[in-house]
């Protein structure tokens, strides 16, 4: 029930929830490697992490790069996947199929590919943690395909927990979280959006990346938890 001397790989660990998870795991004693699609983002992230953390450039859509990554990283105790493209409205009506298919290339198929390539490198007692989202339970207009992808991740989590046992497989289902993905929204507008979204939760707040990171660390450390989808949304799904 400790991450001391464990090796953790956070795919998508250069910002937001992934970076917070990498920092929390390192502070808990793990040797952490993060990935990003951009070398510049990786350098900035590593400067914000404790000494000893490592980084690799990775595009989850590139299987050769995935194979190289796991060969280079070696034995792993925990794999965490938080990578995902920015969510954008893509209504089924009027959106060509060739534009809809790529919506799941990273968030779903990328996760599948990463797990597949990780398997030969997992240590005894290893864990895998995927990321879905409350969109799986409460879609917004224009998000049908993204909602299907999030729901698919949750089904994958349960299926792999059975298929890969005793490797533990879980997922985190975050609600609205303050991350750099919101930085493109002007501050005044962003504040108004957060206030409106916070009012729709039971706790009256939106989440932080650190709160999501704490959930990831819990799922890594607790070796009695598998096949679980852990919701962190401030009670928004119940409100």
**Which residues does the annotation mark as catalytic?**
132
Query: DSSP string of 157-206?
Result: HHHHHHHSTTSEEEEEEE-SEE-GGGTTS-HHHHHHHHHHHHTTSSSSS-
Per the CB < 8 A criterion, the answer to whether 172 and 129 are in contact is: yes
Please give the angle made by the CA atoms of 228, 181 and 208, to the nearest 5 degrees: 50
- Provide the pairing of β-strand 7-11 with 31-36: parallel
DSSP for residue 143 = -
């Amino acid at each position: 029930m400790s991450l001391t001397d464990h090796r953790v790989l956070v795919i998508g660990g250069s910002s937001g929830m992934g970076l917070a998870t990498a920092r929390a795991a390192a502070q808990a004693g793990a040797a952490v490697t993060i990935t990003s699609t951009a070398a510049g983002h990786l350098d900035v992230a590593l400067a914000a992490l404790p000494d000893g953390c490592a980084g690799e450039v990775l595009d989850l859509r590139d299987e050769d790069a995935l194979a190289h990554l796991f060969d280079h990283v070696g034995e792993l105790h925990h794999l965490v996947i938080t990578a995902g493209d920015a969510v954008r409205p893509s209504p089924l009506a009027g959106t060509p199929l060739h534009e809809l298919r790529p919506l799941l290339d990273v968030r779903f198929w990328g996760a599948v590919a990463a797990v597949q390539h990780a398997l030969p490198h997992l240590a005894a007692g290893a864990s895998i943690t995927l990321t879905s989202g409350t969109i799986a339970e409460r879609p917004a207009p224009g998000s049908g395909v993204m909602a299907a992808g999030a729901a698919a991740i949750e089904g994958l989590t349960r299926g792999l927990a059975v298929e890969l046992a005793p490797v533990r497989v879980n997922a985190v289902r975050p609600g609205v979280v303050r991350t750099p993905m919101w930085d493109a929204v002007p501050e005044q507008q962003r504040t108004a959006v957060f206030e409106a979204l916070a009012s729709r939760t039971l706790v009256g707040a939106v989440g932080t990346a650190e709160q999501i990171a704490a959930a990831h660390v819990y799922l890594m450390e607790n070796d009695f938890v598998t096949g679980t989808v852990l919701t962190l949304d401030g009670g928004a799904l119940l409100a």
